[in-house]
Structure 1
């Protein structure tokens, strides 16, 4: 999980804090904090520490404390893979504090077959603080990785057959490269939109080989989108207009530029939300793509 980064930290604003019932129930069950005000104090305190690591907008907006993954249509396929495919591996890429991988494990995905990765390992550490867990009580391995770095993920062709090479124990992995062709499911949200059109294409081509070449293997998530691909009107924190795909161009990217025609099925839909602009407090429309890429 990530969003627009900024060099200048905007002051945090507790009035933005809002959890719906499912968000509250999930964190309350994990932390044992049942009083709404006490839980808010706990989350706000952790937010300050997370924001000091890197001031992403999604940290300021409390997105790290809200559920995303379980609200996507592809989520049930993830849980099905965990139940029905022996040894199915799941990676939460750009995991931030790990709220989404924790939800998947809570809903039945085998904890010993889940992994998480982010550029900032401090986020994962803050996740233990947020959810009051330890590496022993929540033993999902974390891999600090920059997916644009060959040291973290070596460029690979799209696998056409299952790997027979032995895989080291997950807790011993220090890069994503050994996972090429091994992952039954990958979730990544609020990640692709951090990059230019070319950057998103490169990212897709680097991530795609991680997916196991078995029917039903899936990459899914959500990020900023538009009704027609292009640049958002408003600038991000670096004074740059975010590039966004529309559902059709996102589908074409994966079906024709990343995978060979006929290798995958892509589903993508555009969701419009009203959000409060943090600077003006005015309500503005915001679009995001909800998508999945499934191996055939």
Structure 2
């Protein structure tokens, strides 16, 4: 829980049992193709056994909802509007550093690399380092065979990322080699893409989510096209959402746009795209596998040139 004036902490208070959750494991066509290729396991039953084994190990580390319900197998970033622009940015910009914040097992950054983002420009960070190790277990790699730098740290620890205003000019120092980076402070103003998937809704007050956004903003390069992109639970009107395992504060497209374009960055210096999407979610309810609809906010925040068109919050709900 977070308290005004204190360091925000994610709300992970709900502990859910594992019994019967193997029935929740499900792949769509894109997921199945990706996980077969990324793990090297082509047999569907063997792949499921492998993922269930990793789920059990991860649950022993942190019994999070995303672990219990196999949400860690989602490739949600690849469905967010702006994802193709992100990949194109990686293919056209010199040294297009991408930082995946709260990367968990690294599934989104691995998907981005598979889709063409340059591997040498990617870095993952998470507060739970064991998840990165389990990512190697999940994808049958090692740090040697998949040498993406990983930083373990708390985004609200000033020694890891000191809160400073966003950067509006070129940084005075060159971008460091990612293999030599030890804290996010070293990347201030050098990051072309920041990915933040299924993170903001874990901070259960509006103030805490604003602090998280402001913590991330100074990492972003001032160059037009640099972007922060992600998704999390959303609402048609901002407020608290009940009925989940956790009590969540959720933004609407309009409030999310106002947060970034004015509260975090100077008004008119970014373009925000945000839309609500209704998706099926599998979860356990009273010990029974259940399918229900959930509302998610998919979004991107992109640096723009002076005089570019303003932000437009896309309030369309897609099913």
TM-score (norm 2): 0.87
2: CA distance between counterparts of 1:202 and 1:250? 13
- 1:138 deviates by 1.0
* 3-state SS in 2 of match to 1:257: coil
Contact 2:224 2:303 (C-alpha < 8 Å) held by counterparts: yes
Where does the alignment leave 5 or more consecutive residues of structure 2 unmatched? 1-9, 305-319
Deviations 1:88-119 (A, max 9, x none): 10111110000010011111111111000000
Q: Does 1:214 align with 2:223?
A: yes
Give the match for residue 67 of structure 1.
75
Offset from partner CA, 1:61-110 (integer Å, 9 cap, x none): 11212212211111111111111111110111110000010011111111
1:80 to 58, 67, 88: 88
- 2 CA distance for matches of 1:70 and 1:119? 23
Tell me the SS of whatever aligns to 1:256.
coil
Deviating runs (4+, > 6 A) in structure 1? none
Q: Which residue of 1 aligns with 2:258?
A: 252
Aligned to 2:142: 134
Alignment size in residue pairs: 291
C-alpha contact 1:276 1:284 (8 A) present in aligned 2: yes
The two structures, once aligned, show a CA RMSD in angstroms of 1.6
1:10 aligns with 2:11: no
3-state DSSP of counterpart to 1:278 = strand
Residue 288 of structure 1 aligns to a residue in which SS? strand
Distance (Å, rounded) in 1 between the aligned partners of 2:127 and 2:230 = 18
* Equivalent in the alignment of 1:41: 49
Counterparts of 1:238-277 in structure 2, within 5 Å, are 241-277=247-283
Change (3 A) 1:225 1:45: same
- Answering whether residue 169 of structure 2 is matched by residue 146 of structure 1, we say no
Is 1:223 matched with 2:232? yes
Give 1:276 shift.
4.5
Is the Cα contact below 8 Å between 1:4 and 1:57 reproduced in 2? Answer: no
CA distance change for structure 1 residues 113 and 251 in 2, over 3 Å: closer, same or farther? same
Q: Structure 1 regions of 5+ residues with no counterpart? A: none
Distance in 2 of aligned mates of 1:134 and 1:283: 35
Asked if 1:205 is matched to 2:211, the reply is: no
Higher mean alpha-carbon deviation, 9-18 vs 262-271, is at 9-18
Q: Which whole-Å CA distance do the structure 2 matches of 1:96 and 1:28 have between them?
A: 19
Q: 1:243 to 1:183 in 2, by over 3 A?
A: same
Q: 65-74 or 204-213: which moved more? A: 65-74
Does structure 1 conserve the Cα–Cα contact (< 8 Å) formed by 2:233 and 2:296?
yes
Check if 1:287 corresponds to 2:286. no
CA separation in 2, counterparts of 1:277 and 1:63? Answer: 9
The equivalent position to 1:185 in structure 2, one of 185, 193, 200, is: 193
User: Hey, what does 1:93 align to over in structure 2?
Assistant: 101
